[in-house]
Amino acid sequence: MKNDDINKELRDLAPGLEKLKGENPFHVPADYFESLPESISSRIHSTSSSAKRDFGFFTLPRLAIITTSVLLFAFLGYFFYLNMPSETYLTEAEQELFDNHLAWYSNYQTDAYYDIIMDNDNDTEMSELVFDEDEVLDYLLSYTGYYLDFPPDAAEDLW
Amino acid sequence: MEHYSDEQLLELFHNSDNPNYAFNLLIKKYQEKVYWHVRRLVIDHEDTNDIVQDVFVKAWKNLDNFRAESGLFTWLYRIATNEALTFLKSKKRRFFIPWHDVENTLTQRLETDAHFSGNEIQKKLQKAILSLPEKQRIVFNLRYYDELKYEEMSKILDTSEGALKASYHHAAKKVEEYVKNH
């Protein structure tokens, strides 16, 4: 009944094609359909095992690589953080230049000089610095030649 | 093999200790229908063989989720159609060729195919079918060779019966015209 309907439809539409119907010009190699179920089973088996392999040899190592990379970066980051220089060190030449400059500067800008030698702490006021009077005199006499302006007897008093 | 209904095969697959056996029965029941459907679309036997195997591998993987209301046969035809179309599209993409050149390639293959034994008129008919647009070609093959109802075709191709009928009528006239004039 189903075929009759289809054939009638074709006859009405394209009668030339009805005559050609029923022949299959294609063919397959001998015993193809007998062996096809086995080929399909083999392919199913191989895709199942490759899916397992994917998990075993590719998926898991991928996770391991990601985890190891994260841990390695964290470790290296921590290592560099610990070993990061906390101060800027000067080269020997820079240090010498800086000392010379400081010595020269101290002759003119006493307060600023103290600021510098007190680690640039500008909030530190001179009034907060407590110097022993003997220390001051000792310093002046030893390093600045300031005693030359003293009256000789005053210097003798000092000594 | 034909004495197992789809329901019995599914029952056997889901509830027996040996689903492989049930699936083997399913392959034997549908392998030829699926093969010829694909073969008429891609022409070459080796390509068809690959696609058919892929179709059944997909069916195996998804049979647990298969819902019986759509029909096993319809479901397999749907997978087969999609696989064949994907294959043809990948062929177009791989070689950067437009559809009419794929059609030419398939026609040339028809000339050299060792597994094609049709006479001149049969060859002309196949060339005429290959000259149809993709969708019309599928509709024509499903109706002309597989003798499917429009209702079944509608489920496979997800297209309305009216549109399929129009498509088939158009295709049949074009094929007849081609055979007459070439």
Round to whole Å and give the CA distance between B172 and A14: 6
Examine the domain organization and report whether A135 and A151 are in the same domain.
yes
Q: By the 8 A CB rule, do B1 and B25 touch?
A: yes
Instruction: Report pLDDT digits (tens) over A114-144.
Output: 666 665 555 545 555 666 777 777 777 777 6
Helix axes B161-181, B134-144, angle to 10 degrees: 90
The CATH T-level fold of domain B1-116 is: Rna Polymerase Sigma Factor; Chain: A (1.10.1740)
Q: Interface pTM (ipTM) of the complex?
A: 0.85
Confidence of residue A107 (pLDDT cuts 50, 70, 90): low
Which of B13, B21, B86, B90 lies closest to B55, judged by CA? B86
Q: Flag whether A139 is in a domain.
A: yes
B126: closest chain A residue by CA: A25
Q: Flag whether A118 is in a domain.
A: yes
Domain ranges of chain B: 1-116, 119-182
- Encoded tokens for B112: 């050299």
Full residue range of the structural domain in which residue A127 is found:
92-158
DSSP string of A81-131, one letter each residue: HHTS-SSPPPPHHHHHHHHHHHHHHHTT-HHHHHHHHTTT-TT--GGG---
pLDDT at A56: 47
B112/A contact by beta carbon, under 8 A: no
Instruction: Report pLDDT digits (tens) over A43-91.
Output: 998 887 665 544 444 555 667 788 888 899 888 888 888 777 665 566 7
Which chain B residues contact residue A42 at CB under 8 A?
none
Which chain A residues contact residue B176 at CB under 8 A?
13-17
B89/A contact by beta carbon, under 8 A: no
Q: Which residues of chain B have pLDDT under 70?
A: 1-2, 94-102
Examine the domain organization and report whether A100 and A45 are in the same domain.
no
pLDDT at A104: 72
Chain A, chain B: beta-carbon pairs less than 8 Å apart: 87
Q: By the 8 A CB rule, do B144 and A10 touch?
A: yes
Helix axes B45-62, B19-42, angle to 10 degrees: 140
Which chain A residues contact residue B52 at CB under 8 A?
36, 40
More confident residue, A95 or A41: A41
pLDDT at A142: 74
Q: Flag whether A66 is in a domain.
A: yes
Examine the domain organization and report whether A33 and A80 are in the same domain.
yes
For domain B119-182, say whether CATH 1.10.10.10 is its number.
Answer: yes
Q: Flag whether A11 is in a domain.
A: no
Burial state string for A95-121 with b = 16 or more CB within 10 A and e = fewer than 16: eeeeeeeeeeeeeeeeeeeebbeeeee
Examine the domain organization and report whether A32 and A72 are in the same domain.
yes
B110/A contact by beta carbon, under 8 A: no
Count CB atoms within 10 A of the CB of residue B81: 20
